Structure 1
Amino acid sequence: MQSALESTLDIQKIRQDFPILDQEVNGRPLVYFDNAATNQKPLPVIHALTRYYEGYNANIHRGIHHLAEQATAAFEASRRAVQAFLNAKHWQEIIFTYGTTDGINLVAQTYGRRFLKEGDEIIISTMEHHSNIVPWQMLCEEKGCVLKVIPVDDNGELLIDEYEKLLSEKTKFVSCVHVSNSLGTINPVKTIIDKAHAVGAVVLIDGAQASSHLELDVQALDADFYVLSAHKLYGPTGMGVLYGKKDILDAMPPYRGGGEMIKEVTFAKTTYNDLPYKFEAGTPNIADVIAVKTALEYMAGLGKENIAAHENDLLQYATEQLSELNGLRIIGQAKHKIGVISFVLDGIHHQDTGVILDQQGIAVRTGHHCTQPLMQRFGIAGTTRASFAVYNTREEVDRLVQGLHRVQKMML
């Protein structure tokens, strides 16, 4: 069955932009439902990478020859593209990192070390990815800060009333995921930010899962920091973004030492570069930074609202179809979700489910999804997770349902 949205977007034509999808796995056409881990890359992004290496590969910023100037211009054009994508006020507020995890660690090790002290409280949520838990635990151990956690209800929604109770004059930092990678829950981050600001706390939002699904406006959110990864935006791996308000970034010490992040070095003293370069030490991931602009242009060409509507159509259809399977329980049924479905099958280990689906050419993610505390909250070891992107179809959802019938037939 083809939905109206699929017809409007011409999904079959879009799929031709993703050559990796045109293959068989174990003798069956590939169904790729592991998009929350990383989505596939369209040909324009792949070509942007090869054009750089074939045509103007050079180090950036300091060279005066033609290739260096061409590479520098393309690199900085990506910064401006990300600024527009996030609606940041200043281009200097866009820091290129190696991914969401790197961005969170940068903030924890610079802002956290400089401004947090013993007894200060940091708030995170139960549904955080490990990358938004461990850096804060490390900081608390080092500085003597106290880590507090927002609980979630049985639907996988944050208990905002409980969050309000955690806030106090001791709260100095709040770090929360915009969208849960395990459950697909869309969190009320504007409310979270406003309530944190009311007690004088600074807020970081982990936008790794939100960035390709939701319209983003860091000024409207009033986020102090926002982090994301390019590889979940149809872009390359190993490249991410840290947005930070300019006055806060200016007050933070550098994260790494080396080239590019300096103005002048002597054996007596080093003076540091201006934003954003003081946080971008060493030769950066030039090709991947350049290609992320192409990825953003590709999404804009399709229409981000159209992508989101298509994925929501798949989510609703998949939820209906999977709910009819006896013994299947969906974990996380928030009112507001992106195209992620986590589920368990009674009497069947999630890893066995994943293996048998792979034998049928269906790629899903199994395990705790780097959210072990969240799994513990629901009393499970892990889930099977299907996550959708613009190139997925209802027919592929039907393949998943058929595959799960086979899993149950083999295992029960």
Structure 2
Amino acid sequence: MADLFGNDPSQQAKASAAPREDAPLADRLRPRTLDEVIGQEHLTGPQGAIGRMVAAGKLSSMVLWGPPGTGKTSTARLLADAVGMRFISVSAVFSGVADLKKAFAEADKMAGVGQKTLLFVDEIHRFNRAQQDGFLPFVERGTVTLVGATTENPSFELNAALLSRAQVLILNRLDAAALEKLLARAEELEGPLPLDDAARDALIGSADGDGRFLLNQAETLYNAQINTPLDPAGLGTFLQRRVSVYDKDRDGHYNLISALHKSLRGSDPQAALYYMARMLVAGEEPLYVLRRLVRFASEDVGLADPQALIQCLAAKDAYEFLGSPEGELAIVQACLYLATAPKSNTAYAAQKSAWKSARETGSLLPPQNILNAPTKLMKDVGYGKGYAYDHDTEEGFSGDNYWPKEMEPQTYYTPVERGFERKVKERIAYWEKLRAERKDA
């Protein structure tokens, strides 16, 4: 009798057992051996981490990290078969603490008769921190070999203690060649797809690296019993295009905003526009994108082009005035302006340096000559005495010392020879020349 995990405690069934004839196409095409896993040869091949562990006959706990439809579950099942381990699968979506305790108790019992257990935890990132900690003693004792699967960055979603006991293995998004192999396997089983060559390429492109999605779409085509091959336009009207994989509070969000920021910094307007489009098309809040553009205008353009900040704030106003989709053109304009503007991070660097000095010398009093003296007592003790009013000089520059007497003058801001900052640099050099001349006089 099977337990709540779908496992037979008395005699573990093979993880790669043949599926039912009426099972979905993706299940019927699941690989039966690790050699049949498509697109992950860097892990499953003879020189890969999984290939080496299987060859040695001993598995370490691991976390399989990769996009949907890349073979994480299939790989875990086949690992158990490859080394003769008992396979138990739980899902963090449906399982709780009681389920895990039952799984660990069964694993302890089977260990007593010499049968090791591979515990596969799907979507392991959905377990909270306390539940993740619950795995640790059983992994350390060797009660189970843990294989977790996640689509999220383990650095953010998994406890450091758990990560220190498990090797993170990254599964690749399936490329066009890998997806073509999947379609070829489907056609060996079900016959040719009703598609011309261009539509076939379009179907592969629509999968966005997800093998399961591709096979589900292929199954829809088979079930429709289409007699005349479809062209791309016909395919587009028949199938709904896959929704972009983009969780606004998870890894995809941070990956794309990082790609946008670095494309802007690298002065590539085409790539910047692509990544911004990816975010907005997938449903990102336009005002979030605008906030990042405003930040970029100060951090990476700065005084090399002071208009950059004004452009971004104007784009925010335009978007709030027009809304979507009309207002999104203003966001595009701001993005292109930033990508093509001269770049300087000197304001950003100056801020960090000045903040550091402020923390280290925050109690020093400014020199008395630049302090206001609103009372007679303050005048009597020297506040404001000897202040040089810059506008009274011929150059509008007194060259006075504005630093606390216990502190040497510092240089936080060093403009670059780009854009507007070239002029700023000339002004600072002129003032430094005047200051030196008056000091020597």
- Greater relative CO, 1 or 2 (CA 8 Å, sep 6+): 1
Larger Rg: 2
**Do both share a fold (TM > 0.5)?**
no
State the TM-score, normalized to the length of structure 1: 0.23
Query: Structure 1 or 2: larger helix share?
Result: 2
State the TM-score, normalized to the length of structure 2: 0.22
Query: Structure 1 or 2: larger strand share?
Result: 1
